[in-house]
Structure 1
Amino acid sequence: MPSLFARLPAFPWDRLEPYKATAAAHDGGIVDLSIGTPVDPVPELIQDALTAAANSPGYPTVWGTPALREAILGWLARRTNAAGLDHPNVLPVVGSKELVAWLPTQLGLGPGDKVACPQPAYPTYEVGARLAGAEPVPYTGSVTDLDPAGLRLVWLNSPGNPSGRVLDVAELRAAVEWARRHGVLLLSDECYLELGWEADPVSVLDPAVCGGSVDGLIAVHSLSKRSNLAGYRAAFLAGDRTVLGELLQIRKHGGMMLPAPVQAAMTVALGDDAHVAVQRERYAARRAALRGALEGRGFRIEHSEASLYLWATRDEPCWETVADLSEEGVLVAPGEFYGTPGDRFVRVAFTATDERVAEAVRRLS
């Protein structure tokens, strides 16, 4: 019997190791801008909530505490304008990557089913389809151009990773209407919603997009970027209560539950907007510094109006750019990792410390 592993593409990041070694050998050390992992401290009020809940000997619930669900609903109302949602419309999950990778399987997809994935994009959308035995269908234009035959799920990603592209209300609304017309479940990965720079990202849950009904829609949200909680694996879903109700039962059987201290920390994090504003200011300064340095070096920045990345090109093969920058101790991600539309781009994360960003700017200038 073929192994599950055989369905998967080669793990792309292994190919970056030689360039990482070159960058690490630089006299001033490596400036790693290849992965968007938070480096700033977890806000103290979140750490305090985690610590206060440390004595949690019993099993947590898969659905999360009522307080957590209320915090999710409160944040959704403030940030996405979502209206009419209640506890059955939300579901905490163990990090958004786990969710993206296993959602097609948990929804019962398999051979003969298709999952539409945007390009360039986070490769886990394709991985999730392949793990389920379904067929990934990459698309570069509008969802409305897709052939609906056999299509069960369609992914949106706005703000996008790696490009930072933001879909406007009209584009989102057209995608929602198309998916509903063809009976296709629409998944919207909105993990960078709080990080708009040159655009104000909008959720599919916004009534201006969905018409006040979340039927057929699921939004994916994460606290990894907004609250520096990547290490906590804190995320949640919001949307169609029928779909989320089925997922809740499946995840109960699988024991897919967030640790109780993490649930307590999420509750506090979602109730506080001040720490998000502080983190945004940090990222805005790093973004401005790196963008100026890259443009001064002859790069062109495309999209990048939101998220934690600059989508940069010198109109050359991406691996040539990676090699060139690695000689200066700066490591970036080749756009090829995110699909063929990225062949001549690199993704530059601005999640390094202020000191490392300043060093990258110095080297690029």
Structure 2
Amino acid sequence: MSAVSSRLPVFPWDRLEPYKATAAAHPDGIVDLSVGTPVDPVPALIRKALTDAADSPGYPTVWGTAALRDALTGWVERRLGATGVTHRNVLPVVGSKELVAWLPTQLGLGPGDRVAYPRLAYPTYEVGARLCGATPVVYDDPTELDPTGLRLLWLNSPSNPTGRVIGRAELTRIVKWARAHGVLVFSDECYLELGWEAEPVSVLDAGVCGGSYEGLVAVHSLSKRSNLAGYRAAFIAGDEAVLGELLTIRKHGGMMTPAPVQAATVAALGDDTHVAEQRARYAARRAALRSALEAYGFRIEHSEASLYLWATRDEPCWETVAQLAERGVLVAPGDFYGAAGERFVRVAFTATDERVEAAVKRLAG
């Protein structure tokens, strides 16, 4: 049997375990600012929708209920500035990470094909390319890539890990280039609701795409905006030809969002109040941590959006990780996201208010 795992890099988070143990030994316990998992309660209206749909003995459909598709199309038009969105332009997926990891395989990519993603990026873009045997390629500006054999271009705005936002003019330029060269664009916009010093723009915005979704797909998740990481609630929107092909494949693969989660997604997308409340929590935590980090000697770069601060003390990232672990604070080393991050750390502000306050005190001590 061929070991597919041999194509993949070492799972990065395993390397952090010794530092996690050091941080956990702190007398007041660990402050984990590494992974960025939501810690606040799931909003009550979403939990009610989930439990009300708990008696769902039959199989759900891959495409989702009509109510779910209505919720997806309505939100995409209302929030992303898209126009003329139909059910054929949306598709629920079982969490965005699953989609990212298996997309190149489902698109039929393989040896000889190229998959491009930012030089500093979520590691699963590379994993997806390697799983199907395609060649991963990094970029600083995607329009400077050789389009030969380039089958899939990943954009990520707001960026994980840096929090950088691609501006409207730049995004429009990239879309024009990709279409001119027949390159399929998938835009990972999972942090779009979390802009702080810049307003994130979707690739589906009518001013960016010209009202046509040809060659464009946006990826969205409810994990961060609605604290639903445990629900695996996400969706894609855009080119109906691409989504139609993926729907057919995913039907055969049984990639179905559970019926109660579909109902919860409808409730979540129909309510903006809980999103604003969660933004306010994150804004306060972000401000507190940013001030503490800067006072401790860090420089913050980008970080105008998302759930992270991209921070450096101009030293190797593992030295920074070790120093903070001694204070009981765990952060992610920047080289998890590419060699260009080797002197940075990614600091998540998803911990509770009490743990953020603890981190601030430890950095000041």
Length-normalised TM-score, structure 1: 0.99
Match of 1:99 in 2: 99
Count how many residue pairs are aligned between Structure 1 and Structure 2. 364
- The aligned runs of 1:1-365 (5 Å cut-off) are 2-139=2-139, 141-365=140-364
Please state how far the C-alpha of 1:78 moved relative to its aligned partner.
1.3
Q: Distance in 2 between matches of 1:222 and 1:99?
A: 11
Please state how far the C-alpha of 1:95 moved relative to its aligned partner.
0.1
CA deviation map 1:247-294 (0-9, x unaligned): 000000000000000000000100111100000000000000000000
Please state how far the C-alpha of 1:3 moved relative to its aligned partner.
1.6
Letter in 1 for 2:361: R
Unaligned runs of 5+ in 1: none
Q: Distance in 2 between matches of 1:2 and 1:343?
A: 33
SS of residue matched to 2:310 = strand
SS of residue matched to 2:151 = strand
Please state how far the C-alpha of 1:77 moved relative to its aligned partner.
1.1
Q: Distance in 2 between matches of 1:88 and 1:36?
A: 32
Q: Distance in 1 between matches of 2:45 and 2:119?
A: 38
Please state how far the C-alpha of 1:2 moved relative to its aligned partner.
3.5
Length-normalised TM-score, structure 2: 0.99
Unaligned runs of 5+ in 2: none
Letter in 1 for 2:26: H
Q: Distance in 2 between matches of 1:133 and 1:143?
A: 21
SS of residue matched to 1:23 = helix
Q: Distance in 2 between matches of 1:151 and 1:69?
A: 31
Q: Distance in 2 between matches of 1:73 and 1:40?
A: 27
Q: Distance in 2 between matches of 1:294 and 1:223?
A: 28
Letter in 2 for 1:122: Y
Letter in 1 for 2:48: D
Q: Distance in 2 between matches of 1:287 and 1:256?
A: 36
Q: Distance in 1 between matches of 2:14 and 2:46?
A: 34
Please state how far the C-alpha of 1:119 moved relative to its aligned partner.
1.8
SS of residue matched to 1:310 = strand
Q: Distance in 2 between matches of 1:211 and 1:318?
A: 42
Q: Distance in 2 between matches of 1:117 and 1:144?
A: 12
SS of residue matched to 1:197 = coil
User: What value does the CA root-mean-square deviation take over the aligned residues?
Assistant: 0.6
Please state how far the C-alpha of 1:358 moved relative to its aligned partner.
0.2
Letter in 2 for 1:127: V
Runs of 4 or more above 3 Å deviation? none
